Structure 1
Amino acid sequence: MTLFVRASSVRAYAAVMRGLGADPAPFLRRYHIAPKAFEDDDALVDLRAVNLLLEASSAETGCGDLGLRIAETLDFGFLGALGVVIQNAATAAEAFQIASQYMFVHSQGLKLTMNPHSPLVEGAVEMVFDILLPGHPPQRQNIDMCLGTAHFLAKALLGAPYDLKLVTLPHTPIAPLSRYRRFFGAPVIASQERASLHGPVTAFGAELRGANPALRRITEDYLARHFRVPGDGVSPRVRLALRRVLGTPQASMEGIAAMLAIHPRTLHRRLEAEGTGFEAIKETLRQELALQYLRETNVPLGQISGLLGFPEQSAFSRSCRRWFDETPSAIRKKTGRAHPTRVEG
């Protein structure tokens, strides 16, 4: 099964590579990652491809701390709505619980857990990070990026009480350990069982300053409604995934199943159990988006056909007559948008 990650996590990759005097384009082509994906924070890219991209880029540029360099550029914005909820949690412990619960929104291939009793530091908790790629491929840079990003976000969230005590790496780093110690401001031990950050228990019980409970409730409600927790209803997740790739070859049962890390037959059974099916969800989404594009935009009809995944404009027109008993032009004319201007998308 293919696991994906939001492109926002590596949006600084190209800039960091250029800063090293390297052209990122050949690396992106090698691993079939479209450069435009980094322009859309909600775009999904293959997690394994990102892993390979970072490892190859590190090796061929001689930059052993590539993951840390990318982490230095990130802030809560790369997490989207999840970042808003985390920042507005009442306490650090609650922020961590939210991050752990909704990490699948960012990537189902990343897992974040907390051990309330660090096995290595007395009076500390342990935050553990896992990358769930089958076969355990080399992932030094991705692990470093995850740890580094979490460290910077925790510092921003907690301030002085954060006081990191220890970092453990599940690999032997290419860069000197001194680089890691400077980055984290704490002792770093390599070749350990897992990737983790160890901080004081007291910091995670602290109240967060500047939290906006109302904004947190609104955003968490959005996450709960649009990004169902794995194991909950699958149809909203299918709809969300389809919305992102409609009009591309990936908008098939097999493609969406891969995005959700579910076998196609399992996805079919789960949708059937919820009283729906893949084609029904796709059909409904197409209808809703057709009305949106026709009523609220000036996108040309031919371009709308492509955005909705129709092979040609005539097929889109036939569907509109079947759905709404009207042609696309007639629907658009009613809203005064009979003279569209092409919009890139």
Structure 2
Amino acid sequence: MSYRLRSAALTNYVEVARSVGVDPYHQLSSAGISQSVLLDSDIMIPADAVARLLEASARAAGIDDFGLRMAETRQLSNLGPLGFVMREQPTLRKALESMAHYLRLQNEALVIHIEESGGLAVIREDIIGGIPGSMRQATDLVLGVLYRMLSVVLGAAWRPRTICFTHDAPANLATHGRVFGAPVAFRQDFDGIVCLATDLDAAVPTYDPVMALQVRRYLDAMLVQSNTTMPDKVRRLVVALLPSGACSVDRIAQHLGVDRRTVSRQLASYGDSYLSIVDEVRIELVTRYVDSGDRPLSEVATLVGFSSLSAFSRWFNGRFGCSVSTWRRDKEQ
């Protein structure tokens, strides 16, 4: 499935590309993106094309922090209407919940999910769709922007516990130090921000209930116009819930506020089922995880929702016609 995002995602791309000696317009053309999208931040463009653009630009520049450099100067206004959602909520928790609810108006390929345990909260991001192999630059851009937005909402004095990345550490951490000013951990099980659970209930100073109502009405109207299908809704929830090991059609139905029969019936009308979507998402994620490095297969199994490596291995063999090790070796040749 093809996902889209607002061309605002390319804010300051040209400036960053030039600063590291890369021809931005050549890279845009190679990624199949028209230069005209730079003139209007509300044009919807393919998310996978943007991911390819960022990875190719990083390779051309010989750096591994291209996406984070783009995030470094982002402002809340770059999120368009979604920026108002962040500012016009009473607490950070409500701001994040509203952001997650309306996020597809900004980026159809991004899922934001909040998990709490032991006094800590994880604000996790997952990119669906995309391209086989590395999504490092897109991930860095998303987490960098998310951190900057939270800092704007809560004030510059706010600091999370840890910024977590699934990919390896870069050769130079200078940009991470400038952007985050907080501990950064690599080769983690998720991409996201860890903070105190109490931070989620921190008051948002800019909250205005009258303005919040107006913003909500406006965005609700935009959601109706966007016509998200049941398969889209289920797919986003599957991506968010798979790593927890608690992904099921009943859980999906609970999140959607309907019963499982309604979910199954509406999926069937599109020629889909809960299990077919789970399989599709797993194939997409496994391709990315196995392609992007030497992550232990036990971790990959957990990240795609299997309780054991043996169960994952049987599933992989059934879908790809070979063992994981054989598939990975063939890819490396």
User: Shorter-chain TM-score category?
Assistant: 0.5 to 0.7
Conserved? CA contact 2:17–2:23, under 8 Å: yes
In the alignment, is the contact (CA less than 8 A) between 1:11 and 1:39 conserved in 2?
no
Q: How does 1:102-181 map to 2 (within 5 A)?
A: 102-117=102-117, 123-133=119-129, 136-159=132-155, 162-177=158-173, 179-181=175-177
Give the superposition deviation at 1:210.
2.4
In the other structure, the counterpart of 1:216 is: 212
Report deviation, 1:174.
3.4
Cα deviations by residue, 1:171-202 (Å, 9 ceiling, x for unpaired): 11434245424431122111111101011222
**Contact between 1:125 and 1:200, CA under 8 Å: does it hold in 2?**
yes
Q: Which residue of 1 aligns with 2:278?
A: none
**Secondary structure of the structure 2 residue equivalent to 1:192:** coil
- 1:255-306 deviations in Å (ceiling 9; x for gaps): xxxxxxxxxxx99x67xxxxxxxxxxxxxxxxxxxxxxxxxxxxxxxxxxxx
Conserved? CA contact 2:22–2:60, under 8 Å: no
In 2: Cα distance, 1:50 partner to 1:33 partner: 8
Count, aligned residues: 234
Q: For each residue in 1:9-28, what CA deviation from the matched residue of structure 2 results, as whole angstroms up to 9, or x when unmatched?
A: 11210111112232111111
Name the SS for the 1:68 alignment partner.
helix
* Corresponding residue for residue 230 of structure 1: 228
Match of 2:183 in 1: 187
Give SS of 1:176's match. Answer: coil
Distance in 1 between residues matched to 2:126 and 2:132, nearest whole Å? 10
**Structure 2 segments unaligned to the other structure (5+ residues):** 233-265, 271-333
**Percent same amino acid among aligned pairs?**
27
Distance in 1 between residues matched to 2:156 and 2:24, nearest whole Å: 37
* Aligned partner letter, 2:151: K
Q: Give, in whole Å, the separation in 2 of the partners of 1:141 and 1:135.
A: 12
In the aligned structure 1, how far is the partner of 2:36 from the partner of 2:124? 32
Moved over 4 A (4+): none
C-alpha contact 1:112 1:129 (8 A) present in aligned 2: yes
Question: Where in structure 1 are there 5+ consecutive unaligned residues?
Answer: 235-265, 271-345
- Please tell me the residue identity of whatever aligns with 1:206: A
Q: How does 1:1-345 map to 2 (within 5 A)?
A: 1-117=1-117, 123-133=119-129, 136-159=132-155, 162-177=158-173, 179-228=175-224, 230-231=228-229
Q: Cα RMSD between the aligned structures?
A: 2.3
> CA contact under 8 A between 1:158 and 1:203: conserved in structure 2?
no
Q: Which amino acid aligns with 2:57?
A: S
Letter aligned with residue 18 of structure 1: R
CA contact (8 A) 1:3 1:109 kept: yes
Query: What displacement does 1:128 show?
Result: 0.3
Larger radius of gyration: 1
User: CA–CA distance in 1 between the matches of 2:203 and 2:80?
Assistant: 22
CA contact (8 A) 2:68 2:175 kept: no
Displacement of 1:162: 2.8
